[in-house]
Amino acid sequence: MLNFESDYLEGAHEKILARLVETNQEKLSGYGRDKYSASAIDKIRQATLCPEAEIYFISGGTLTNALVIASLLKKYEGVIAPETGHITTHETGAIEFSGHKVLSLPQTNGKISAEQIREYLEQFWTDDNREFMVFPGMVYLSHPTEYGTLYSQEELKMISAVCQQYKIPLFLDGARLGYGLVSPESDLSLPQIAEYCDVFYIGGTKVGALLGEAIVFTKKNTPDYFIAHMKQQGALLAKGRLLGLQFDTLFTNQLYFQISQHAIDMAMRLKQGLLAKNYRFYLDSPTNQQFVILENKQMEELKRQVAFSFWEKYDEQHTVIRFATSWATKQTEIDELLALL
Amino acid sequence: MLNFESDYLEGAHEKILARLVETNQEKLSGYGRDKYSASAIDKIRQATLCPEAEIYFISGGTLTNALVIASLLKKYEGVIAPETGHITTHETGAIEFSGHKVLSLPQTNGKISAEQIREYLEQFWTDDNREFMVFPGMVYLSHPTEYGTLYSQEELKMISAVCQQYKIPLFLDGARLGYGLVSPESDLSLPQIAEYCDVFYIGGTKVGALLGEAIVFTKKNTPDYFIAHMKQQGALLAKGRLLGLQFDTLFTNQLYFQISQHAIDMAMRLKQGLLAKNYRFYLDSPTNQQFVILENKQMEELKRQVAFSFWEKYDEQHTVIRFATSWATKQTEIDELLALL
Amino acid sequence: MLNFESDYLEGAHEKILARLVETNQEKLSGYGRDKYSASAIDKIRQATLCPEAEIYFISGGTLTNALVIASLLKKYEGVIAPETGHITTHETGAIEFSGHKVLSLPQTNGKISAEQIREYLEQFWTDDNREFMVFPGMVYLSHPTEYGTLYSQEELKMISAVCQQYKIPLFLDGARLGYGLVSPESDLSLPQIAEYCDVFYIGGTKVGALLGEAIVFTKKNTPDYFIAHMKQQGALLAKGRLLGLQFDTLFTNQLYFQISQHAIDMAMRLKQGLLAKNYRFYLDSPTNQQFVILENKQMEELKRQVAFSFWEKYDEQHTVIRFATSWATKQTEIDELLALL
Amino acid sequence: MLNFESDYLEGAHEKILARLVETNQEKLSGYGRDKYSASAIDKIRQATLCPEAEIYFISGGTLTNALVIASLLKKYEGVIAPETGHITTHETGAIEFSGHKVLSLPQTNGKISAEQIREYLEQFWTDDNREFMVFPGMVYLSHPTEYGTLYSQEELKMISAVCQQYKIPLFLDGARLGYGLVSPESDLSLPQIAEYCDVFYIGGTKVGALLGEAIVFTKKNTPDYFIAHMKQQGALLAKGRLLGLQFDTLFTNQLYFQISQHAIDMAMRLKQGLLAKNYRFYLDSPTNQQFVILENKQMEELKRQVAFSFWEKYDEQHTVIRFATSWATKQTEIDELLALL
């Protein structure tokens, strides 16, 4: 059966597996002190054009978000996020578990704007009773967003400026960052992301790794004793090599970008094919997640032959579904899917 | 250079890697809903002779401890543990991070006794002011302990009886469980552990896996919506297959026990060799961690040729160091080490 | 200067002070085990027609909210509340501090409806991915609301029915409960509130006490060892008599209702006076908080002679301000205020 | 019946009640912004000879401890305390509730020494694996201790020096501070306490107030937005006047010291009387708590006529009990008690 349910259906890129096998017998120090982690850090510093970047590898996205947010915020602070942000909706209160409120703002196409953020901050700081409210201590964005959309360079730059003005860090969740960077509609490079954001993470789990995300602190702003924070939140793997080696591989010879490009090529092939067949999209996504509005009956039929994600009810007769491509999607799979639709 | 620093120096057992490669292209459901996780669960149920066991796979030990404890305890409860327990000393307050106190008891050879626990519980429950104290809501043991020692069947049975009497769960941290089960001095089988404990975990990270621990709830006592607890604490891996497949492999054809046996064989060879040379041991460990008392000068010299763990100062002239063997230790390494000593 | 800033400007009702003086030398047990607390509990049981009610006295509203919510929720649960609820906006994240998310729903006149709650719960429980979301584990309402409005008997009954259907407790924040109960537009009695709610609190701080709120668990549903929860959150006063005696006094000879009635009489006199002068109200409040729309210029002038609360910007030229009356407001103060307007 | 159970049996000193009555009708700003709180702050600044002291009033001791500790510590830090410290044993895990571990040290007569603290800190900071342990981020002492004993000036000075050396704050819990300051064996003045401690609190609840503790930050070291911390932990009373006025009264004309002196006079009269009758003391307490070893049979008999606190089992035949005097104890009560013994 065809399967477009998510971008983490397969294991890892074959080069990653090959290197795991190749280095398996080496005795290496634990907790990220191994040479492959060091090498991965070097390569990410180069790829971000940010030589002073401080980089840590974590097993998954929720833990990464919880860790970055809890370690950077003061106890009375919360994090501004779009109402559709992953931390706002789909992490079972992981942020609140660590004591912090997610301050949600209305979204448009999964995004929030510099203007919205500025207004929120301005209103907060001019309110005489602000000590009765949660202090906005950080801004969280996803890029690509949960709807596959992208911030433009201008948008991110302006959000960054607001954050700087109010002296709060800008944190970008890049669980699918590769798919955003190589999108035809992206005008944002990895170095620019490093420039505008105070901290972000480069997603591995959804982009070719078995597991792993790389947190990048870009302004010498890693919280004191971050390793202690990691250990306290259960985020410090004994065999850190497993994460280091994967990122080392992904950032060798542009592999991360190449495999991301493949996913986008597949998504665009699907999108063009659907447009040609007059399918309606819920919104215009330039990345590897495509949101299509199907009649309920057609959806039910399709289910028998294709796995996809239910996204949300559109109206009584229609449903929004999601097709996700990935680094591992085959062109024949796209063609078979299109043939069915 | 020889290296006996820990039991997580290498990657994974070759059979695990082989199966990762073999299954890599399969498209599998995420979050532990894949067939390999299901198969691993079946095999662990068989190995524990506990058909109703409920089993979850987690990336590492600290996260496992924090998750089990936080999900089982009520807010006003804490967990009884030896003063040398991993959660008491070496997890940067991960338990307290989730709001719970570790109620530490004095240890002997890394262990606490049923009698100590009973006294603590009795004193608590007869104190009129108990609502001003943290309620003891669980007992935590490590087996083998942080000193490599083992609970006997009788000891565990009695601790279990106390826990039952006071209706609190007994939780056994089995980060190195394999090394305990096959030790020549062990009289505890895996099914007995499943019988006496309400929940325990089978360590993978230190026993042949790239990463991973298997939590086993033995009495149909999994906390409601445990997946939600997992997600909230960042412990739910997207590619759950990675953990499931490893445990499936480890519990196929007794691999877990075989590789554990190898580590113990190596440790006993080392121990015998050291005894033959009249080395003093800090305590008598029947498992893969051996604690030796060296003169400081000798220790400094040894450091140049062998990596090992500093454990603690013994007196002004002597230091306790630890040699750890593992599933991956080679006999030649033991012999080379003995030759140096 | 006239002062209508809040309903906690003065100390306590004179009868309360008199009894504090009268009983001051008595030696009484601490932590709420004194005879005045016991007597207050009896009287509240009678006033609520709920003989099995379990009642606890707490020093203030935020602590009460945090305590009730944290003690009743499981770790993965959050509390549904209106977006304008006190816990949602004005308690500096006290609920999140204890690890729980406030699940905010859009409000109308400060209220949410049974239908909104039902939809939210239904959607949650039919979502296959619900374990990735915060579980709705309680409903929180304020009565009167932060806008002075009231739930009708029918509205509360229906909300209660939804909560029962989904087996989650309904918690009513009665910081200003007295002012709601005696409002001319109220059709809800205290026994009905006890019937429909699983837990609620009767506000003392804003209704005649020096400080203190009385939590009422109505269905034999007090969390186990609630005193331990109280101590853990710092909510257990050594001299519990101070709270018990005040509620004992307030619930003797209907004092609580009489002084509430006075505040409402004053509020209605103000409201009628303002209506007669054609002032615009932000909404129609039947309780002791009156929200008036003033031209900014007029507001600035008024400020010199009267203290009131800025509520929110209405438009470029207008502002919403709040006048609060209380048990201690004098009729002459209302008349002086009206003369100024 | 005679009652020596605790030092919070009565209401408040009559001067406090008189001022509550006198000022009751004044309309005052909430949340500590009233003139009586301001005046109390001034007087405490004078009494501590610390003009830059920053002072906040809180309703009770547990909340005060939890608030000071949570607001000053970073997430990965814990607080060093004696194993018999109030936060270690008798606050139902209030510190852990806020995410922090209490790092307990062995005590002698309820106290810990500078040397013990130094050793702990030194060992921590020289441990290569310190990021796996809870960072010691504060030292907590009680003065008088839970056993009524006192730190000498020299002892406190040396502890203060260690804290300064390691750059961690010294926090002194002064729930019974008055009784310590006026003890005949005390050589520590209030200004010295302000000099040596970074933060401490002056207990009101046990020394003449209805409720209330005054936190004093002595080194311009109040955590940012402390009011937000207070609100978040439920520690900000609406009618802050209630606390401010009480401390204003206690620090007018030395009232706090006078009433403390009375309690100590009563305790010493009791102590001398018991010594004259050859009673054995558990330890030598120079303050208002006296710990006496009674034969169990005698204890049981005494219980019928006198209320006191059970402290701990001494041996099979004997029990340690506590008699507490207070500002309200009458000389006749002491004499009656002595007559019974």
D135-151 in b/e form (b: 16+ CB < 10 A) is bbbbbbbbbbbbbbbbb
Tokens of D116: 């013990």
Residue pLDDT, tens place only, A201-210? 999 999 999 9
Domain D15-254 has CATH 1.20.140.10: no
Decide: helix, strand or coil at residue B142: strand
Q: Are A47 and A190 in contact (CB under 8 A)?
A: yes
**Chains adjacent to A (≥3 CB pairs closer than 8 angstroms):** B, C, D
> Max CA-CA distance within chain C?
62
**Chain C partners within 8 Å of A120 (Cβ):** none
In this prediction the pTM is: 0.97
Distance CA B260, CA B329 (A): 11
The answer to whether the CB atoms of D131 and A228 lie below 8 A apart is: yes
Query: Considering Cα of D146, then D152, then D154, then D160, what sign does the dihedral take?
Result: positive
DSSP state of B199: E
Q: What angle is formed at CA B332 by the lines to CA B327 and CA B335, rounded to 5 degrees?
A: 110
ipTM exceeds 0.95, yes or no? yes
The answer to whether the CB atoms of B132 and D92 lie below 8 A apart is: yes
Report the gap between the CA of D114 and the closest CA in chain A (Å). 26
Q: Which amino acid is at A213?
A: E
Q: How many C-beta atoms surround the C-beta of residue B299 within 10 A?
A: 17
Query: Considering Cα of C52, then C53, then C54, then C55, what sign does the dihedral take?
Result: negative
Of A92, A101, A129, the CB nearest to C133: A92
Task: Return mean pLDDT, chain D.
Answer: 97
Decide: helix, strand or coil at residue B138: strand
For A83, A313, B70, C279, the CA distances from A110, given in Å and listed in that order, are: 8, 17, 33, 42
The answer to whether the CB atoms of B93 and D100 lie below 8 A apart is: yes
Q: Please count the residue pairs, one from chain A and one from chain C, whose beta carbons lie less than 8 angstroms apart.
A: 55
What's the pLDDT score for residue B248?
98
The answer to whether the CB atoms of D24 and C6 lie below 8 A apart is: no
The answer to whether the CB atoms of D97 and B89 lie below 8 A apart is: no
Q: Are D135 and D114 in contact (CB under 8 A)?
A: no
Interface of B with D in 208-267 (CB under 8 A): none
- Determine contact: C52 vs chain A, CB below 8 A: no
Of C21, C211, C238, the CB nearest to D8: C238
Residue pLDDT, tens place only, B148-169? 999 999 999 999 999 999 999 9
**Chain B partners within 8 Å of D134 (Cβ):** 92-93, 96
**Shortest CA distance to B112 belongs to which of B64, B68, B79?**
B79
Task: Nearest chain A residue to D70 by CA: give it.
Answer: A75
Report the gap between the CA of A75 and the closest CA in chain D (Å). 7
Domain A14-254 has CATH 3.20.20.70: no
Report the gap between the CA of D98 and the closest CA in chain B (Å). 6
Distance CA B156, CA B143 (A): 10
**Shortest CA distance to D145 belongs to which of D109, D199, D98, D196?**
D109
Q: How is domain C14-253 classified at the CATH fold level?
A: Aspartate Aminotransferase; domain 2 (3.40.640)
Residue pLDDT, tens place only, D68-122? 999 999 999 999 999 999 999 999 999 999 999 999 999 999 999 999 999 999 9
Express as a percent the part of chain D with pLDDT over 90: 99
**Chain D partners within 8 Å of A73 (Cβ):** none
Interface of A with B in 310-339 (CB under 8 A): 328
- Determine contact: B11 vs chain A, CB below 8 A: yes
Of B24, B62, B228, the CB nearest to A92: B228
| Interface test with chain A among B31, B92, B326, B330, by most A beta carbons within 10 Å | B92
* DSSP output for C86-148: HHHHSSTTHHHHTT--EEEE--BTTB--HHHHHHHHHHHHH-TTGGGS-EEEEEEEESS-TTS
Within C166-293, residue ranges assigned H as helices are 177-181, 190-196, 226-232, 241-250, 255-276
With left for phi above 0 and alpha for psi between -120 and 50, is residue B293 left, alpha or beta?
beta
Distance CA D247, CA D203 (A): 10
Q: How many C-beta atoms surround the C-beta of residue D230 within 10 A?
A: 25
What's the pLDDT score for residue B26?
98
| Interface test with chain A among C92, C104, C128, C138, by most A beta carbons within 10 Å | C92
Distance CA A143, CA D283 (A): 66
Task: Return mean pLDDT, chain A.
Answer: 97
Residue pLDDT, tens place only, C54-87? 999 999 999 999 999 999 999 999 999 999 999 9
Distance CA B220, CA B52 (A): 7
**Chain A partners within 8 Å of D75 (Cβ):** 70-71, 229, 232
What's the pLDDT score for residue C305?
96
**Chain B partners within 8 Å of A8 (Cβ):** 30, 238-239
**Chain B partners within 8 Å of A238 (Cβ):** 6, 8, 60-61, 205-206, 211
What would be the CATH architecture of the domain defined by B26-253?
A: 3-Layer(aba) Sandwich (3.40)
Q: Are C243 and C59 in contact (CB under 8 A)?
A: yes
Q: Please give the distance of CA D101 from its chain centroid, rounded to a whole number.
A: 20
Residue pLDDT, tens place only, C149-207? 999 999 999 999 999 999 999 999 999 999 999 999 999 999 999 999 999 999 999 99
Distance CA D249, CA D39 (A): 10
Interface of B with C in 79-118 (CB under 8 A): 99
Using N-to-C axis directions, what is the helix angle for D241-250 and D255-276, rounded to 10°?
A: 70
Q: Are C12 and C207 in contact (CB under 8 A)?
A: no
Residue pLDDT, tens place only, A280-314? 999 999 999 999 999 999 999 999 999 999 999 99
What's the pLDDT score for residue D150?
98
Task: Return mean pLDDT, chain C.
Answer: 97
Residue pLDDT, tens place only, B300-325? 999 999 999 999 999 999 999 999 99
Of A10, A14, A91, the CB nearest to B27: A10
Within chain D, residue ranges assigned H as helices are 14-23, 35-47, 61-72, 86-89, 94-97, 114-126, 153-165, 177-181, 190-196, 226-232, 241-250, 255-276, 296-303, 331-340
Residue pLDDT, tens place only, D32-68? 999 999 999 999 999 999 999 999 999 999 999 999 9
What's the pLDDT score for residue A147?
97
Of B75, B92, B132, the CB nearest to D134: B92
**Chain A partners within 8 Å of D232 (Cβ):** 75-76
Q: Please give the distance of CA B204 from its chain centroid, rounded to a whole number.
A: 9
What's the pLDDT score for residue C70?
98
Annotate C164-199 with three-state secondary structure: HHCCCCEEEEECCHHHHHCCCCCCCCHHHHHHHCCE
The answer to whether the CB atoms of D93 and B102 lie below 8 A apart is: no
Q: Are A214 and A44 in contact (CB under 8 A)?
A: yes
Express as a percent the part of chain A with pLDDT over 70: 100
What's the pLDDT score for residue C234?
98
Residue pLDDT, tens place only, A4-13? 999 999 999 9
CA-CA-CA-CA torsion for D246, D250, D252, D254, nearest 10 degrees? Answer: 180
Task: Nearest chain A residue to D236 by CA: give it.
Answer: A132
Report the gap between the CA of C74 and the closest CA in chain B (Å). 8
Report the gap between the CA of C188 and the closest CA in chain B (Å). 35
> Max CA-CA distance within chain A?
62
Report the gap between the CA of B85 and the closest CA in chain D (Å). 12
**Shortest CA distance to D160 belongs to which of D123, D202, D192, D189?**
D192
**Shortest CA distance to C198 belongs to which of C258, C116, C140, C278?**
C140
What's the pLDDT score for residue C124?
98
The answer to whether the CB atoms of A75 and D71 lie below 8 A apart is: yes
Distance CA A232, CA A213 (A): 18
Of A70, A71, A131, the CB nearest to D228: A131
Distance CA A287, CA A176 (A): 9
**Chain C partners within 8 Å of A76 (Cβ):** 92-93
Q: At residue A215, what are phi and psi to the nearest 5 degrees?
A: -80, 130
Helices (H) and strands (E) in chain B, counts: 14, 13
Residue pLDDT, tens place only, A229-269? 999 999 999 999 999 999 999 999 999 999 999 999 999 99
* DSSP output for C6-24: -S-SS---HHHHHHHHHHT
**Chains adjacent to C (≥3 CB pairs closer than 8 angstroms):** A, B, D
Distance CA D338, CA C295 (A): 74
The answer to whether the CB atoms of C75 and B76 lie below 8 A apart is: no
Q: Are B274 and B338 in contact (CB under 8 A)?
A: yes
Q: Residue written as tokens 């305890």?
A: B73
What's the pLDDT score for residue D151?
98
Interface of A with B in 171-200 (CB under 8 A): none
Using N-to-C axis directions, what is the helix angle for D14-23 and C14-23, rounded to 10°?
A: 170
Task: Return mean pLDDT, chain B.
Answer: 97
Q: What angle is formed at CA D136 by the lines to CA D130 and CA D137, rounded to 5 degrees?
A: 125
What's the pLDDT score for residue C59?
97
Annotate B3-57 with three-state secondary structure: ECCCCCCCCCCHHHHHHHHHHCCCCCCCCCCCHHHHHHHHHHHHHCCCCCCEEEE
Express as a percent the part of chain B with pLDDT over 70: 100
Q: At residue D2, what are phi and psi to the nearest 5 degrees?
A: -65, 145
Strands of the A318-324 sheet, one edge to the other: A280-281, A289-295, A318-324, A309-313
The answer to whether the CB atoms of D92 and B100 lie below 8 A apart is: no
What's the pLDDT score for residue C214?
98
Residue pLDDT, tens place only, A57-114? 999 999 999 999 999 999 999 999 999 999 999 999 999 999 999 999 999 999 999 9
The answer to whether the CB atoms of D75 and A232 lie below 8 A apart is: yes
Residue pLDDT, tens place only, D254-263? 999 999 999 9
> Max CA-CA distance within chain D?
62
The answer to whether the CB atoms of B92 and D131 lie below 8 A apart is: yes
Helices (H) and strands (E) in chain C, counts: 14, 13
Residue pLDDT, tens place only, B242-272? 999 999 999 999 999 999 999 999 999 999 9
Using N-to-C axis directions, what is the helix angle for A241-250 and A255-276, rounded to 10°?
A: 70
Under the banding of pLDDT at 50, 70 and 90, the label for residue C261 is very high
The ranges assigned to domains in chain D are: 2-7+256-340, 15-254
Q: Please give the distance of CA B205 from its chain centroid, rounded to a whole number.
A: 10
- In this prediction, the residues of chain D whose per-residue pLDDT falls under 50 are none
**Shortest CA distance to B61 belongs to which of B151, B148, B176, B140?**
B176
CATH class of the domain at A2-7+256-340: alpha beta
Q: Are B56 and B32 in contact (CB under 8 A)?
A: yes
Mean pLDDT of C274-287: 97
**Chain D partners within 8 Å of A75 (Cβ):** 70-71, 229, 232
Report the gap between the CA of C171 and the closest CA in chain A (Å). 20
Of B78, B90, B129, the CB nearest to D93: B78
Of A90, A102, A310, the CB nearest to C133: A90
